[in-house]
Homo-oligomer: A and B are copies of this chain.
Amino acid sequence: MTTAPVQLQRASWPQRADTGAPALAEGDLDRIHRWWRAANYLSVGQIYLLDNPLLRTPLSRDHVKPRLLGHWGTTPGLNFLYAHLNRAISERRQPTVFVTGPGHGGPGLVASTYLEGTYSRVYPEISRDEEGLQRLFKQFSFPGGIPSHVAPETPGSIHEGGELGYALSHAYGAVFDDPDLLAFTVIGDGEAETGPLATSWHSNKFLNPVTDGVVLPVLHLNGYKIANPTVLARIPEEELQELMRGYGHTPHLFTAGFDDETPESYHRRFAELLDTVLDEIAVARAAAAEQGAEHAERPRWPMIVFRTPKGWTGPKTIDGKKTEGSWRSHQVPLASARDTEEHLRDLDDWLRSYRPEELFDEQGRLDADIASLAPPPELAMGALPQANGGSRRIDLRLPDFRQHGVDVQVPGAAVVEPTRVLGAWLREVMRVNPGNFRIFGPDETASNRLQDVYDVTDKQWMAGYEGGDLDAFMGRAGQVMEMLSEHQCQGWLEGYLLTGRHGLMSSYEAFIHIVDSMVNQHAKWLKVTNHIEWRSPVASLNYLLSSHVWRQDHNGFSHQDPGFIDHVVNKKADIIRVYLPPDANTLLSTFDHVLRSKQYINVVVAGKQPNPTWLTMEEAVRHCTRGLGIWDWAGTEQPGTEPDVVLACAGDIPTVEVLAAADLLRQHLPELKVRVVNVVDLMRLQPEGEHPHGLSDRDYDTIFTTSRPVVFAYHGYPWLIHRLAYRRTGHANLHVRGFKEEGTTTTPFDMLMMNDLDRFHLVMDVIDRVPGLASRYASVRQQMQDMRLEARMYAREHGEDLPLVRDWVWPQAAEVDAPPAGMQNSGTGGDNE
């Protein structure tokens, strides 16, 4: 899709009076009305017709699709709004993204972008003539055609129809750092009942009126959802207005379609309302610009309540039942149009009620006067560059992460909080990428130890200030977004990425499940766009999951859940990446990688509590590049002989336990040949054919052996490792320890013991699995059991872990410069430091 970029960076948005546009004339309103009729006609055509797109011959059953799949009810409202916006956009030269909350109204958006000309530019075979119309109709909801909902295939869309609730948060994400952009956001009144949507109104407390664009919410109050009235349509209008004012908006009510008001009259009313509202926005922005970005007050942004009948202009009744203005319009009102003469006749009447012959010429081309309503191509909503965000993505400038590396003399000597180290580098990233990178989090950025970023930016906050240090790190314009809603953060970030920018979301590992379903939708979007040529790649969706399962001993069982990894791994292999860096240096290297990547969902799990650093920066880079590797300094195998056992680990805490177990094995079973393998990139475990990162069988077999027991200490649910590796030759020898859903408020080491992931149990596992050890080392095994008991007893008495465990360090590190005692424990509190 090539359209000239709109070069604006306007000092301010014009009011209509400033644009030189003439007063609204009857001709304008008529043009809008005819556009609307055309859009509705094309929408109905898409839902029902295989052929005969201009009704040049009498409509017959054969012209009707055998399966009628689509949604009519929301469509005329969407078409109405799109038609009116065209005028306003042209007059004001206002770049506008149309966010379709009721994304099931796919036919409407396809019709509107077809009328404006974008559709045929993007898909030339859907030409602007009768043949093109026939293809347009047939392809809709048809095998080999296009989806029934607004989808990645739809030009101008950054918001897929599907799971409802994210229209407003996507819209706000789109306008952050894009002061020219208006997000015209239609919200279904059913959609408005969802939790994510209900809180997303508060986004206006996070929007800077100078440095960000503007969201104009339009509540599409058509009264019904699938089979019920909606709450907001059935509360008194005064209550609805209070709700909107309570959300910080100035509501403007518009009602039409319930009486015999003429089209000219309601179009005039709406056009004037739209002008009023856009002028209000322009005034608010001008006032804010006066105050300056750093001091601007939050405007009470306008919003529109658009109360019109569901299925407006559709059949008033069908089979004697009220249809227009009811939930009966939601999907396909005339379900038997192909099967019964009566419904066919009704369909014919309905289609002809739009008088297509007045809208399209002989060749099937849209009447030129109607077509003139469309904005110039570079401002057409379907062609908005922001809605094909990848096309305007600017790669991040990434400062050298190596400079932030932890100095490691010997493995394990440098004890640091990994996410804090990451935070220092992220600060530099933010410093050099203003307006192109944001961090999103549900009140946990500092808790997750990224607070160094506040050296260079603030948490953006447009609600009130109290003054003093309680407002620390908050500013009217900033690049960190914090609201206590994972949905909101995720929605904002998605909108920000899909319009061409970069970001990351930091969250507690357990609660990231809140956005499971949003991740599904985004993964599906990425998968589909990978096959759409005109969509350019967008920056990856990056998660930093900290406060993870093994360090929620203080918050207890409700905070302990590593299952998000399992969730994402169900999505397409070419979209998903999961990293478990074992220390600060590998975390840095991993993040440098993920911030450069495109079209992925990257999940990075890393602890915020003090943790040894195992690898030098150079080793870390190599290790991350390989994705996994043998740590020969940690093992006892001899070159030239196979090891007796492989101790594998993935995750920071499992790595500590495996190394501690390796240490114990050296002491107690000195002749045992142990290989230690650490996995950073979990996808390496999958077969080559299943995932682009998958190890070849040859590599896998070399590293894990085909015949030796592998004791694998894994961060999450153990069965995931089996699922990834079950095709490998040595799978029968694989024994995985991980989180088996045992937890409570206790000590960190007790958490490990509850799940048999502790060093002592790993030693027992080795003794049990390596042939011949069990009988010979029964006493060592018993010693390990005793250590477990002692550790538990100690914790129950003292409330902290056995010093022997807590203060353990890797032997080499102990020799050099022992890390401070208690390193494993010290930090599990302090979430709001």
Contact = CB atoms under 8 A, between A and B. Distances in A.
Interface in A697-750: 717, 719, 722-723, 726, 731, 741, 744-747, 750
A63 B500 CA distance: 56
B244 A246 contact: yes
B195 A194 contact: yes
A143 B799 contact: yes
A339 to B, nearest CB: 10
Contact of A245 (B146, B239, B331, B468): B239
B228 A482 contact: yes
A50 B796 CA distance: 12
User: How would you classify the secondary structure of chain A's contact residues: helix, strand, loop or mixed?
Assistant: loop
A825 interface: yes
A67 B145 contact: no
Interface stretch (A268-276, A443-451, A605-613): A443-451
Given A327-B470, A464-B236, A566-B566, A228 B195 contact: no
Contact of A148 (B332, B443, B484, B745): B745
A248 B747 CA distance: 45
Contact of A459 (B228, B332, B483): B228
B194 A485 contact: yes
Interface stretch (A156-164, A378-386, A417-425, A671-679): A156-164
A828 B67 CA distance: 9
A817 interface: no
Contacts of A563: 520, 567, 570
B747 A143 contact: yes
A569 to B, nearest CB: 9
Contacts of A521: 558
Interface stretch (A1-9, A506-514, A759-767): A506-514
Contacts of A486: 194
A464 to B, nearest CB: 4
Which residue of A149, A161, A470, A528 has the most chain B CB atoms within 10 A of its CB atom? A470
Given A151-B556, A524-B558, A567-B516, A227 B143 contact: no
Nearest to A326: B470
A741 B570 contact: yes
B198 A199 contact: yes
A829 interface: yes
A68, A513, A558, A723: most-surrounded residue (chain B CB, <10 A): A558
A832 B331 contact: yes
A297 to B, nearest CB: 11
A19 interface: no
Contacts of A557: 147, 151, 162, 524, 528
A242 B201 CA distance: 14
A243 interface: yes
B321 A799 contact: no
Contacts of A795: 143-144
Contacts of A265: none
Chain B CB within 10 Å, residue with most, of A66, A488, A517, A726: A517
A487 interface: yes
A532 to B, nearest CB: 12
A831 interface: yes
A67 B741 contact: no
Interface string A643-667: 0000000000000000000000000
A447 to B, nearest CB: 6
A196 interface: yes
A554 B744 CA distance: 45
Contact of A511 (B163, B745, B747): B163
Contacts of A800: 66-67
B469 A830 contact: no
Nearest to A748: B67
A555 B799 contact: no
A741 B829 CA distance: 41
A571 interface: yes
A456 interface: no
Contacts of A65: 799
B796 A143 contact: yes
Given A228-B443, A483-B231, A795-B143, A330 B831 contact: yes
A144 B795 CA distance: 8
Given A563-B520, A829-B67, A464 B235 contact: yes
Interface string A367-394: 0000000000000000000000000000
Nearest to A328: B832
A535 interface: no
- Name the residue in A67, A726, A798, A799 with the highest tally of chain B Cβ atoms < 10 Å from its Cβ: A67
Interface in A110-165: 138, 141-149, 151, 160-165
B572 A741 contact: yes
A260 interface: no
Interface in A289-334: 321-322, 326-328, 330-332
19 contacts: A65-B799, A66-B799, A67-B800, A141-B745, A148-B554, A149-B555, A160-B558, A162-B558, A193-B199, A194-B485, A197-B199, A205-B231, A225-B484, A227-B831, A228-B459, A231-B483, A322-B468, A331-B829, A563-B567
Given A143-B746, A151-B558, 7 more contacts: A142-B745, A145-B745, A151-B557, A195-B199, A227-B447, A243-B245, A332-B829
